[in-house]
Every structure is written in structure tokens, then in C-alpha cells.
Structure 1
Amino acid sequence: MSTNNTHAAIAERFLAAFRARDWDALHGLLADDITWTMPGTGTISGIIHGPDAAVSRAREIVGRGLHTELLHLLVGAHGAALSLHNTATAPDGRTLDEYLATVLTIRHGRITAIDSYLSDVDGMGAFFTAA
């Protein structure tokens, strides 16, 4: 399997595990030294380190009722990018409607970095606030 196909397959497994809330499968895709960056000031913002922290962040994101639509899967020399559209409505009526790129850096078949780029950083911060 070519590197491009491998990167695409890992990105597809990442998104499938995220959507299915299969935390063991997600954890298995992550390198021990993974970092995940998220802009803004919300509860999911900042830089986290390690697979346990990455899975914890994923749990928090989907725990808010997020619906994720894949728009495009893009493959590069060092990984893949998922072009996504996320929507959600909180119990208090706050809404989230954002486009994002989730960029996965992949080395030796594992995700070593996740960098999230958002269309509405302030909206994400307002949606993901401490409950």
C-alpha cells in the first residue's frame, strides 16, 4: 500500500472511531507522543499531549452532541487533512456551526499530531464553555 493510501486509510479510521465513539480504536491510532492543538479559549482549546489526553478531548467534543460531516479527505506527504462541517445545539440553545480542517501528521502508521483549524474560533469557544 502506498504512503498516500496508508495516510487516507488512517484518516478514515480516525474519523470512523471518532463518530462511533470507539475510544479503544481511536487510542490505537495515536502515537505515544501525540500532540493536539486547538485554537481559542474554550474548554477544548490549547495544546494537549499524549493519547489519553487526545481521547479525553475527543470524548468532550462528541459529548456535546456534535454532528460531523466529512466534506473532503486530503492526503499529503506527511499525513492527511479532514475537511469537516460540525454542527450541534446545546440544551440551553447555544449552537455550533463551523467548518474546520483537522490535519493529521502521520509517522510509522501512527498519528503523531492533530492540528485543528476552525472557521469560527469565537463560536467554538462560546459553545465549548465550562458547564
Structure 2
Amino acid sequence: MWEMGSQEDAALVRRGYEAFIAGDMDTLRELFADDIVWHAAGTGELAGDKKGPDAVLAYFGELASRATGSLKVTLEDVAPGDRYTVGIQSNHAERNGRTLDQRQVVVFSISDGKVTEAREMLEDTALGADFWS
């Protein structure tokens, strides 16, 4: 049985996905701690740590821009835990005549009702790096 806090964290992650999918960056900003660190997976141009809400939202904007409107994220499940809340998603994007379809896991750290850290884990990191670069 999960603690109530983990259920609240799962609800926060679901709200974040809903906001991302809807393009509601204002709601996303509200869910992020001021010192959030988003670890973008891989070794491509977009990989690395994004520090602060502005940097995280700029990263999301760059993904959307590079996918020229084709980026589609589908939340498959949220797994709440004692220390982390995990979002399991599938991604679809088209870019330069190529298509990317793969699963991704994002491990969220949440404190005081805000996302403090997120770590992406891609199904195929090399494929993702190649596609986005």
C-alpha cells in the first residue's frame, strides 16, 4: 500500500503530462521547483542538464520546434514510489523525413508538491540522439 504522499506525487506527474501534451507551459512552470534540474538523456545536441524552469521549458520548446508540430507524447502509466515517481511514455516525432517511435521513462523527484528533478531514460539512447541532432 502506498502512502498518501506517493499518490499525490503520481497525481502531480499526471497533471504535468496533461499540461505538456496540451502545450500549457504556464501550468508546467507551476509544477516545477525554482531549482529544478532536468537531465536530458543521451549524448546528442539536446542532452545534458537543464537547470531552472526557464531552461526546462526552453528544452521542451526546442523538441517541439525540431519536430515541427509532430511531437506526440502519450502517457502510458505512472508508478508512484517512496522516493521517486516514474512516468512511462511513448513518443512519436517526425523530422527531416524520419520518424521516431520509442518508449521513454522519466524518473521524477518531488518535494513539497513540486518537481525538483527529472531524469530521462530512453529505450534507445543512440537512436534518440541521432534523431534530435
TM-score, with structure 1 as normaliser: 0.91
The offset of 1:88, in angstroms, is 1.2
Amino acid at match of 1:86: N
Query: Is 1:109 the counterpart of 2:113 in the alignment?
Result: yes
Partner of 2:98: 94
SS of match in other structure, 1:72? strand
Amino acid at match of 2:51: H
TM-score, with structure 2 as normaliser: 0.89
The offset of 1:8, in angstroms, is 1.1
Q: Does the CA-based 8 Å contact 1:78-1:107 persist in structure 2? A: no
Aligned counterparts of 1:106 and 1:78: Cα–Cα separation in 2: 8
RMSD between aligned residues: 1.4
Aligned length in residues: 128
The offset of 1:24, in angstroms, is 0.7
The offset of 1:53, in angstroms, is 0.5
Structure 1 residue ranges without an equivalent (≥5): none
SS of match in other structure, 1:14? helix
Q: Does the CA-based 8 Å contact 1:21-1:59 persist in structure 2? A: no
Partner of 1:38: 40
Aligned counterparts of 2:64 and 2:16: Cα–Cα separation in 1: 14
The offset of 1:100, in angstroms, is 0.8
What is the identity percentage for the equivalent residue pairs of Structure 1 and Structure 2?
Answer: 32
Q: Does the CA-based 8 Å contact 1:85-1:100 persist in structure 2? A: yes
The offset of 1:79, in angstroms, is 3.5
Partner of 1:68: 73
Partner of 2:31: 29
